Amino acid sequence: MRIFQYLINGISIGSVYAIIALGYTMVYGIAKMLNFAHGDIIMVGAYISFCVTNYLGLPAWASVLAAMAVCTVLGILIEGLAYKPLRGTPSLAVLITAIGVSYFLQNAAQLIWTSSPKNFTSVVTMKPISLFDGQIVITGEVLLTVGVSILVMVGLTLFTSKTRTGKAMRAVSEDRAAAQLMGINVNRTISTTFAIGSALAAVAGVLLCSTVPTLMPTTGSMPGIRAFTAAVFGGIGSIPGAMLGGILLGIIETFSKAYLSTQFSDAIVFSVLIIILLVKPAGLLGKQVQEKV
């Protein structure tokens, strides 16, 4: 019975990783850059939602919409000001800039909202479902996070395969120069990618803080890095891979904490990751791309 509770706990945190990983993988897959500021956009999204509910007194759904709107604009601004001028430079320069943006967002949040933690009120009002006399408890947050991450995964897959913009994204991802020659506006496509990725980050922020209520300027950074690991684990660039990687990472983490050692849980999680990457270097669902010389 206990094992099921741990499984649910694992899926709960895993689906939060999954939804963050979806944003990572989307931006990496199309813009071919690691947006290390993604975790911090999550944090901004959570703060916006917190402010809208606590200071303006608006309902939860309005706060999620506001967070998505602010994060979308923020994502486009960051892309335009920090990443676009560096297009064509070595990818290392963009990576360092992304780390810079991450620090900028954290410190700006510290100035605006101070470093003292805030307690995020969950957007879920549903009562937890209690099974077997309370031996297993499924919270509304788990159901919502799993539901939303599946929805986002399916939505993104459909979007990239069916719509014009989505197809343009895949073309840019495949070969930027060729896509440009075919008349695709590469800059606009990448901006759109960032806009979608940041809107997802806002949703992820609200779900993360609904599951784990402590909200601080550094809230996004550690889950962000874990979600990035999850994205690599599942095969970076692959949308279903990010989902699978996130959930598996959450479950492995919880089980190693519960049955092996809480102190070494990270070591265990990352050892599993190393072993899997040794066997499948492209990640679980990643495509092995043949380099033609």
Partner 1 sequence: MKKILALLLAALMVVGMLAGCGSSKTEAPKDAETKAPEAVAEAPAEGSAPALKIGLTGPLTGGASEYGLAVRGGMEIAVAEINAKGGLQIEFKAEDDEADGSDKAVSAYNSLKDWGMQILAGAVTTGSALAIAAETVNDQIFMLTPSASAVDVAMTGPNVYQMCFTDPNQGASAAELMAQKWPDATIGVIYDSSDAYSTGIVDGFLSKAAELSLNVAVDNAAFTADNKADLSTQVTQCKDAGCDIVFLPFYYTEASQVLTYANTIGYAPTFFGCDGMDGILAVEGFDTSLAEGLVLMTPFDANATDDATVSFVEQFKANNDGKVPNQFAADGYDVIYALYNACVAAGIDGSTPAADACAMLQEQFAGMTVDGLTGKGMTWDGNGMISKAPAAVVVTDGIYVPLA
> Does residue 114 belong to the site contacting partner 1 (CB under 8 A)?
yes
3-state secondary structure of 216: coil
What CA–CA distance (Å, rounded) separates 243 from 14? 9
**Which residues, at least 6 apart from 123, have a Cβ–Cβ distance to it below 8 Å?**
49, 60, 61, 63, 64, 144, 206, 210
CB of 272 to partner 1, least distance (A): 14
Task: Give the residue with the Cβ less far from partner 1, 23 or 223.
Answer: 223
Among 156, 216, 231, 239, binds partner 1 (CB under 8 A): 216
Query: What is the rounded CA–CA span in Å between residue 53 and residue 48?
Result: 9
Using the rule CB under 8 A, give the single segment among 85-93, 177-185, 187-195, 215-223 that binds partner 1: 215-223
Q: Which of 89, 161, 185, 261 binds partner 1 (CB under 8 A)?
A: 261
97 scored as a contact of partner 1 (CB under 8 A): no
The alpha-carbon radius of gyration of the chain (Å, integer) is 19
Ramachandran angles phi, psi of 99, nearest 5°: -65, -40
Residue 185 contacts partner 1 per CB under 8 A = no
Phi/psi at 138 (5° precision): -110, 120
Under rule CB under 8 A, residue 165 binds partner 1: no
Q: Side-chain half-sphere of 49: how many Cα atoms within 13 Å? A: 31
Are β-strands 136-138 and 214-215 bridged in parallel, bridged antiparallel, or unpaired?
Answer: unpaired
Burial grade of 87 (CB within 10 A; 0-12, 13-18, 19 or more): middle
Q: Nearer Cβ to partner 1, position 111 or 279? A: 111
CA–CA gap between residue 39 and residue 44 (Å, rounded):
9
For 89-98, letters b (16+ CB in 10 Å) and e give eeeeebeebb
Q: How far is the CB of 278 from partner 1 (least distance, A)?
A: 23
Whose Cβ is closer to partner 1: residue 116's or residue 290's? 116
Residue 15 within binding range of partner 1, rule CB under 8 A: no
CB of 31 to partner 1, least distance (A): 27
Number of H helices, E strands in the chain: 11, 4
- 266 counts as binding partner 1 under rule CB under 8 A: yes
Please say which residue, 50 or 194, places its beta carbon nearer to partner 1: 50
Smallest separation (angstroms) from partner 1 to the CB of 170: 33
Residue span 52-81 as binding mask against partner 1, x where in contact by CB under 8 A, dash where not: --x---------------------------
Among left, alpha and beta (phi > 0; psi -120 to 50; other), residue 112 is alpha
268 binds partner 1 (CB under 8 A): no
Residue labelled with tokens 């120069």: 177
Shortest separation between residue 182's beta carbon and partner 1, angstroms: 31
Q: Which stretch binds partner 1 (CB under 8 A): 82-90, 109-117, 155-163, 236-244?
A: 109-117
Contacting positions for partner 1 (CB under 8 A): 2, 5-6, 9, 12-13, 50, 54, 110, 114-121, 128, 130, 134, 137, 139, 208, 211-218, 222-223, 226, 253-254, 257-258, 261-263, 265-266
